[in-house]
Amino acid sequence: MKKAQTCLVTGGTGSFGRMFVGALLADPRTKRVIVYSRDELKQHELRGQISDPRLTFFIGDVRDADRLRRAFEAGVDTVVHAAAMKQVPACEYNPFEAVSTNILGAKNIIDGAIDAGVKRVLALSTDKAVNPANLYGATKLCMEKLFVQGNSYAGKRGTRFSCVRYGNVMGSRGSVIPVFLKQRATGTVSITDRRMTRFWISLDRGVAFVRDCLERMHGGEVFVPRIPSMGIVDLARAIAPDCKLEITGIRPGEKLHECLISSDEARHTRRHGDTYVIQPEFPWWGGTTDAGGEALPDGYSYTSDRNDEWLDVAALRRLIGALDNGGQPFGRRAEDLRRKGQRGRALTAA
């Protein structure tokens, strides 16, 4: 942030949200952080971990357009949209609920942000939005389209929308690491297919990437980080080297390998160091995009099985060992970040 900002984080009590809030509060330039979520217990727990007068909470659901508008009226400059239904089986069994949260909720964010004059809105997406094989991925693909073309609805009002898209977050709620850690005690770890690969990103890097994209976004971009891949067998061996592997078969809606950039998207994607920027194909709003960077080769696609960077068993073991609370990357981490910010403000004041 170049100047003091008020940032609203939807889904602010989730794995990403909690660490992102801590990172914002560690920055002395942050004016105010608003956590918008529907779980009062999680808000109570986060309030107990972080004591900072700049942090406020709104109980609300992204499905509730009126409540969102009321939250945006609190002088919000920036919105990071992290709220979502993201469990594949839950979305398949409750499809209308997934659509209401992930698609109609996105529409409510867009409408509310435009009406309130919010300057920047950045939404979190997933590799499952590329060539989706399940409803979760399909709703996230639709969300991306809404956010990119939401710039057209903003017109000259100045609100700009972009997305970030990355792979599995190490140790987040619902990830496989806590499952493997629990199964380790039984002597058997279950995997779906030995050939399976996934993109992998740490929560710290995901938070840093989102903050960087907030600074560089012009509107309409989908930002993709260059991140390593890992094999599911290597992950199991890193966590439970002495356990038996039980093959259960690929679950409905699951892919062997994930894709972060399709060959069709690659034609309008530029590489900037460790970041890919997928440019909008139809910038009807006449926005300025970052046209620099390096064009991608013809027919290029960024998939987890053909990546040029991999995490082996030793690297995975080091990363997993760095997680707090038996595989959960939050806990005191957000409070630690917030305390660093307090020390920074004290030094600045001195």
Cα dihedral: 294, 310, 182, 247 (round 10): 110
| Ramachandran class of 157: left when φ > 0, alpha when ψ lies in -120 to 50, beta otherwise | alpha
- pLDDT for the residue numbered 350: 35
- pLDDT for the residue numbered 139: 98
DSSP E strands: which ranges in 208-262?
Answer: 222-225, 229-231, 244-247, 259-261
User: Could you tell me which of 41, 50, 53, 43 has the C-alpha nearest to residue 23?
Assistant: 50
- pLDDT for the residue numbered 280: 94
**Residue ranges in the chain whose pLDDT is less than 50:** 324-333, 337, 343-350
3 state DSSP class of 5: strand
Let me know if 42 is a catalytic residue. Answer: no
- pLDDT for the residue numbered 287: 64
Query: Among the options 42, 128, 140, 255, which is catalytic?
Result: 128
Domain range 5-167+201-226+264-296+329-349, CATH architecture: 3-Layer(aba) Sandwich (3.40)
- pLDDT for the residue numbered 62: 98
Cα distance from N-terminal residue to C-terminal residue, the chain:
22
Question: Is the CB of residue 32 less than 8 Å from the CB of residue 75?
Answer: yes
Ordered by start, the domain boundaries in the chain are 5-167+201-226+264-296+329-349
- pLDDT for the residue numbered 328: 44
